[in-house]
């Protein structure tokens, strides 16, 4: 499945993504630097009613947000990590197996720690304002 959207339509795309992927807790979100991974997670959190400031977890590794319904969303960025062991030590596995929604940017840095039921998605910049989100259901 693919979603193609402009940055103005990202909120609608995030809602559609949430509806179509409701059965998945862990989303491995791949894409080049600047493709819009963090921007998409921000839109998803906004659609879920998160009131916290949503920011890139590049330096913190893991950000945690609470939705309007009291659910937890983890936003993980593995970009700076050098090994799966570093991911485990940072507590990433705890997020992945918590039963909460967990978005992980740069999942290829620690592929062996992901649950079997992980949803893999790739975001690609088509141009400066348009993105394609390919979801592997």
Q: Please give the model's pTM, rounded to 2 decimal places.
A: 0.92
Q: Are 60 and 49 in contact (CB under 8 A)?
A: no
CATH code (residue 63) = 3.40.50.300
CA distance 59 to 74: 15
- What digits encode the pLDDT tens for the residues 20-66? 898 999 999 999 999 999 999 999 999 999 988 888 888 899 999 99
pLDDT at residue 53 in the model: 87
pLDDT at residue 119 in the model: 97
- DSSP-derived letter for residue 36 is S
The count of structural domains within the chain is 1
- What digits encode the pLDDT tens for the residues 65-107? 999 999 999 999 999 999 999 999 999 999 999 999 999 999 9
pLDDT at residue 52 in the model: 86
Q: Are 75 and 54 in contact (CB under 8 A)?
A: yes
CA distance 136 to 1: 7
Residue-range definition of the domain harbouring residue 78: 2-136
Sign of the dihedral through C-alpha 46, 20, 36, 27: positive
Q: Is 23 helix (H, G, I), strand (E, B) or coil?
A: coil
pLDDT at residue 22 in the model: 87
CA distance 13 to 79: 25
């Amino acid at each position: 499945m693919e979603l193609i959207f402009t940055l103005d339509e990202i909120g609608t795309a995030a809602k559609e993504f949430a509806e179509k992927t409701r059965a998945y807790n862990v989303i491995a979100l791949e894409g080049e630097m600047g493709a819009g991974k963090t921007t998409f997670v921000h839109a998803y959190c906004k659609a879920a009613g998160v009131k916290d400031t949503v920011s890139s977890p590049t330096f913190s590794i893991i950000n945690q947000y609470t939705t309007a319904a009291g659910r937890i969303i983890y936003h993980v960025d593995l970009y700076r990590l050098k090994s799966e062991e570093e991911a485990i030590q940072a507590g990433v596995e705890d997020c992945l197996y918590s039963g909460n929604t967990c978005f992980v940017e740069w999942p290829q840095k620690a592929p062996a720690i992901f649950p079997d039921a992980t949803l893999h998605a790739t975001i690609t910049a088509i141009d400066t304002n348009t993105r394609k989100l390919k979801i592997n259901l």
